[in-house]
């Protein structure tokens, strides 16, 4: 290959670019990003950045000399609009075209929004640096009442940051408990974290709509008929993969870019990594998208190797891992879990918000979870299976 184009310049795209150079690709390397910023770290956006403890310049994923060492062409603020596999080019929104021999799809995902909330002042999602800057300005101006819609980890982290800022916070969640996929014990522990820090909870109820004064949000209307006053609303109800630009490309699109266990798509010279990749897991015979930092960082290694080899010679099989910091508690999880798995607390106390537990299925340990038990978690995580060759 003489030219490889990485579409997407967040963590997965940047990791793919670094892997290309590390694995010996010395040809033309082009990075195409929808944002005008060079790659930056997203996890601090809902935590330290909202609190003003981390500033823009501290978010960079690497030093400038590391970016320079890639010897890449950066095309920022001009997202990919179409992939033309027949002619071997990526077309940009501006109409420019990049002739390429290989493509790494790392376009990530976009937050879902509430119907009727588009264009309403005071209603936010949080995904990008620009999102975070706009939200931080509103949270630190006056004393706004905040409603967070969605009690997943992004919503919980935002609620936690709002509490640290001394704000009045309500969390609304359609499910009966937060993060139900981690089972009832962990879900209740997460709910107790909110309650113990003065957050009002509305679980098991959906949002019927946003109430405005004609321009700005003034409340959230719930399915129960209750109206929750709000000066700022933050929506964290999941994401949709950024795949519109791949229509009619020949790439299989089903809730993401469908690819094998090595990230290879239906087109042998196109691979995918990160939030957008729906990867086959041979052991479970299923396709999953894993929206975690560590996956976006590690997955590109196998995808790039397979792209350069022209075939699947390696699978990405790292054990899924994520963490979340909420109300001074570090929550860590690794492996896979289902709500009906058996959960066994092996150290500490759930009531004291300091414990280590294992998920078991058919007598096998399939996952580990910890609240404020980093050392024990690290040991337990290492005991779970790691990557394997194809």
The SS3 call for residue 93 is coil
Summary count for the chain: helices (H), strands (E): 7, 26
Write the CB contacts of 189 (distance below 8 Å, at least 6 apart in sequence): 350, 353, 371
Indicate the pTM of the whole model.
0.93
Q: Determine what percent of the chain is predicted with pLDDT higher than 70.
A: 98
| pLDDT value at 390 more than 70 | no
Q: Using pLDDT thresholds of 50, 70 and 90, give the confidence band for residue 283.
A: low
Q: Determine what percent of the chain is predicted with pLDDT higher than 90.
A: 89
The SS3 call for residue 305 is helix
Where do the domains of the chain lie? 3-110+239-309, 113-235, 328-382
Separation CA 330–CA 127 (nearest Å): 21
Mean pLDDT for all residues in the chain:
94
- 113-235: same fold as 3-110+239-309? yes
| pLDDT value at 385 more than 70 | no
Average pLDDT over residues 23-35: 97
| pLDDT value at 357 more than 60 | yes
DSSP string, 119-161: T-BTEE--SSHHHHHHHHHHHTSS--EEEEE--SHHHHHHHHH
The SS3 call for residue 1 is coil
Average pLDDT over residues 138-150: 96
Looking at the domain that runs over 328-382, which CATH code has it been given?
3.30.390.30
Q: How far is CA 336 from the centre of its chain?
A: 17
Q: Tell the CATH superfamily of the 113-235 domain.
A: FAD/NAD(P)-binding domain (3.50.50.60)
Q: Give, for 381, the enclosing helix (H) or strand (E).
A: helix 374-382
The per-residue pLDDT for range 327-356, each reduced to its tens digit, is: 999 999 999 888 889 999 999 999 999 999
Separation CA 266–CA 88 (nearest Å): 15
Taking Cα atoms as reference points, which of 122, 110, 124, 194 lies closest to residue 152?
194
Separation CA 250–CA 263 (nearest Å): 15
Q: Using pLDDT thresholds of 50, 70 and 90, give the confidence band for residue 284.
A: low
Residue 144 phi, psi (nearest 5): -70, 145
| pLDDT value at 30 more than 80 | yes
CATH for 3-110+239-309 (3.60.21.10, 3.40.30.10, 3.50.50.60, 3.30.450.20)? 3.50.50.60
| pLDDT value at 257 more than 70 | yes
Cα angle 375-376-378, degrees, rounded to a multiple of 5: 65
Specify the DSSP class assigned to residue 278. E
Tokens of 233: 């609303």
* pLDDT recorded at residue 387: 40
């Amino acid at each position: 290959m003489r030219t490889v184009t990485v579409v997407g310049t967040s963590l997965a795209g940047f990791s793919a670019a670094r892997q290309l150079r590390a694995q010996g690709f010395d040809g033309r390397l082009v990075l195409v990003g929808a944002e005008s910023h060079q790659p930056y770290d997203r996890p601090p956006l809902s935590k330290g950045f909202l609190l003003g403890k981390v500033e823009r310049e501290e978010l960079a994923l690497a030093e400038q000399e590391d970016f320079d060492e890639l010897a890449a062409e950066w095309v920022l603020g001009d997202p990919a609009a179409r992939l033309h596999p027949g002619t071997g080019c990526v077309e940009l929104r501006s109409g420019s075209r990049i002739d390429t021999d290989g493509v790494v799809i790392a376009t990530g995902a976009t937050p879902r929004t509430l119907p009727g909330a588009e264009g309403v002042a005071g209603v936010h999602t949080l995904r990008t640096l620009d999102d975070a800057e706009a939200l931080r300005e509103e949270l630190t101006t006056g004393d706004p009442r905040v409603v967070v819609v969605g009690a997943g980890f992004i919503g919980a982290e935002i609620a936690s940051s709002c509490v640290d800022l001394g704000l009045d916070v309500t969390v609304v969640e359609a499910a009966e408990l937060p993060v139900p996929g981690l089972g009832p014990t962990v879900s209740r522990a997460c709910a107790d974290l909110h309650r113990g820090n003065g957050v009002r909870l509305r679980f098991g109820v959906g949002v019927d709509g946003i109430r405005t004064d004609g321009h700005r949000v003034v409340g959230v209307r719930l399915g129960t008929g209750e109206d929750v006053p709000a000066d700022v609303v933050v929506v964290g109800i999941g994401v949709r993969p950024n795949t519109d630009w791949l229509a009619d490309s020949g790439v299989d699109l089903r809730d993401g870019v469908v690819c094998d266990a090595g990230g290879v798509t239906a087109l042998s010279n196109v691979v995918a990594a990160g939030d957008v990749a729906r990867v086959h897991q041979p052991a479970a015979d299923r396709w999953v998208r894993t929206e975690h930092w560590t996956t976006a960082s590690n997955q590109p290694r196998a995808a790039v190797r397979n792209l350069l080899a022209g075939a699947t010679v390696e699978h990405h099989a790292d054990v899924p891992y994520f963490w979340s910091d909420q109300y001074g508690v570090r929550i860590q999880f690794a492996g896979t879990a289902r709500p009906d798995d058996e959960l066994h607390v092996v150290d500490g106390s759930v009531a004291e918000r300091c414990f280590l537990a294992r998920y078991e299925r058919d007598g096998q340990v399939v996952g580990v979870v910890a609240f404020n038990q980093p050392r024990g978690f690290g040991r337990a995580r290492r005991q779970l299976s790691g990557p394997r060759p194809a």
